[in-house]
Amino acid sequence: MIDAGNNALVTWADPLDLRGYARIIDGDGDGTAMADLGAYEHDPNAPVPVFKTPAPSYVLYKGASLTIPVTIEPVAGGAVEADVSYGESPDVSGPATLSLPNGAGPVDLVVTAAAELTNPGTSVAVSIAESTTSLGVDSGDIELKLRERRVKVAGSGRVFVVQGEWAEFRISLLDAGAAAPADIHVAVGSAGGTGTNAIAWSGDAVILAGASTSAGALQVTGGLGVNTIELTVDSGFAFVESGAAAFVLEIQGVPIPVYVSGTGEHRRCSAALSPTMATAPRPPRGPPTSPPKAP
């Protein structure tokens, strides 16, 4: 109870409450500083405690679970009970309540996405709000971005590499900043085709759990002609380029100079070129022109 204690019982040797806050405060605003009755002192000028998570939003893949630590900052004045709501989404499930016995946490909130998403590509707002306790903890919200399991490597089925130049391609999750829910292994096939492009995978062929990009990469040194390489991922993921777990990347080696756009822009190395691009020699470079001199 606020200001209902006895100041005489607060000793100079131990003038703090159980959280380490000052013990004798005017909690009810009547002009007289009195100790509260109980283990915690109410300070009307202290920051309001609120439910918090390490990040405001997370990517949640279909069929995957995600553990999010929940804390209260600053510490609440006792044990806290909270309700958790998921916006009535059929795509996300998790506990309906959370308990923070120490008023601080952390406590793990484990959320799981449905094996098949009703609304992939959308977000679900998760709300955490104090329920049966009355310690004035403000609610906290988390955004869950629901995603299909997709990776990308080149953005298209064919890449162009200039003869003698080097290019590198890593496999990454489609969403920037997303984290793999588990290790995603990459199977790398043998290079095919009649071209002279040098193709090899370097490093570990895996996107590690918690990472967003493959540890290793496909490395290409441009030659001439066309070669292919098949890549396959597991853990239920698929390439955006093929819509399947397997994807055959075509590598076209081209001589210098190579492709010029309709505006005359010279394009080099690993950029995927549109069908309107055509081979053309680089325009000859003449001496720089000088502005006419005044007579």
Q: Which CATH number fits the domain that encloses residue 130?
A: 2.60.40.10
Question: What pLDDT shows up at residue 270?
Answer: 41
Task: Tell me which of 181-185, 207-211, 252-256 is least confident.
Answer: 252-256
Task: Indicate whether 286 belongs to any domain.
Answer: no
Question: What pLDDT shows up at residue 250?
Answer: 94
Statement to judge: residues 197 and 155 lie in one domain: yes
Question: What pLDDT shows up at residue 279?
Answer: 39
Measured CA to CA, the distance from residue 140 to residue 70 in angstroms comes to 9
Statement to judge: residues 72 and 23 lie in one domain: no
* Residue 149 token pair: 């399991």
Question: What pLDDT shows up at residue 127?
Answer: 97
Per cent of the chain over pLDDT 90 is 58
**Local confidence band at 208 (pLDDT 50, 70, 90 cut-offs):** very high
Q: Is the pLDDT of residue 5 over 50?
A: yes
Measured CA to CA, the distance from residue 208 to residue 204 in angstroms comes to 10
Mean pLDDT for 16-43 is: 73
Task: Indicate whether 293 belongs to any domain.
Answer: no
Question: What pLDDT shows up at residue 22?
Answer: 75
Statement to judge: residues 107 and 36 lie in one domain: no
Measured CA to CA, the distance from residue 98 to residue 138 in angstroms comes to 14
Question: What pLDDT shows up at residue 65?
Answer: 93
Domain extent for 78: 50-147
Nearest C-alpha neighbor of 125 from the set 50, 57, 53: 57
| pTM attached to this predicted model | 0.66
Express each pLDDT in 138-180 by its tens digit.
999 999 999 999 999 988 888 988 899 899 999 999 887 788 9
Q: Which CATH number fits the domain that encloses residue 185?
A: 2.60.40
Task: Tell me which of 28-42, 46-60, 63-77 is least confident.
Answer: 28-42
Statement to judge: residues 103 and 184 lie in one domain: no
Question: What pLDDT shows up at residue 14?
Answer: 66
User: Residues 49, 135: contact at Cβ < 8 Å?
Assistant: yes
Other Cβ atoms less than 10 A from the Cβ of 118: the count is 10
Question: What pLDDT shows up at residue 202?
Answer: 96
Task: Indicate whether 54 belongs to any domain.
Answer: yes
Mean pLDDT for 219-247 is: 95
**Local confidence band at 276 (pLDDT 50, 70, 90 cut-offs):** very low
Per cent of the chain over pLDDT 70 is 81
Q: Is the pLDDT of residue 223 over 80?
A: yes
Place of tokens 């279909």: 62
Statement to judge: residues 58 and 42 lie in one domain: no
The phi and psi torsions of 2 (rounded to 5 degrees) equal -70, 130
Q: Is the pLDDT of residue 194 over 90?
A: yes
Mean pLDDT for 190-199 is: 96
* Residue 151 token pair: 């990776």
**Local confidence band at 282 (pLDDT 50, 70, 90 cut-offs):** very low
Statement to judge: residues 42 and 57 lie in one domain: no
Measured CA to CA, the distance from residue 147 to residue 252 in angstroms comes to 32
Place of tokens 């679970």: 65
3-state secondary structure 18-31: CCCCECEECCCCCC
Mean pLDDT for 63-90 is: 93
Measured CA to CA, the distance from residue 109 to residue 112 in angstroms comes to 10
Mean pLDDT for 210-229 is: 95
Task: Tell me which of 36-45, 62-71, 183-192 is least confident.
Answer: 36-45
Chain centroid to CA 41: how far?
A: 40
Question: Between 290 and 171, where is the model more confident?
Answer: 171
Statement to judge: residues 136 and 243 lie in one domain: no
Statement to judge: residues 207 and 129 lie in one domain: no
Arithmetic mean of pLDDT over the chain: 84
Statement to judge: residues 208 and 254 lie in one domain: yes
Q: Is the pLDDT of residue 266 over 50?
A: no
Q: Is the pLDDT of residue 267 over 60?
A: no
Question: Between 32 and 234, where is the model more confident?
Answer: 234
Give the chain's domain count.
3
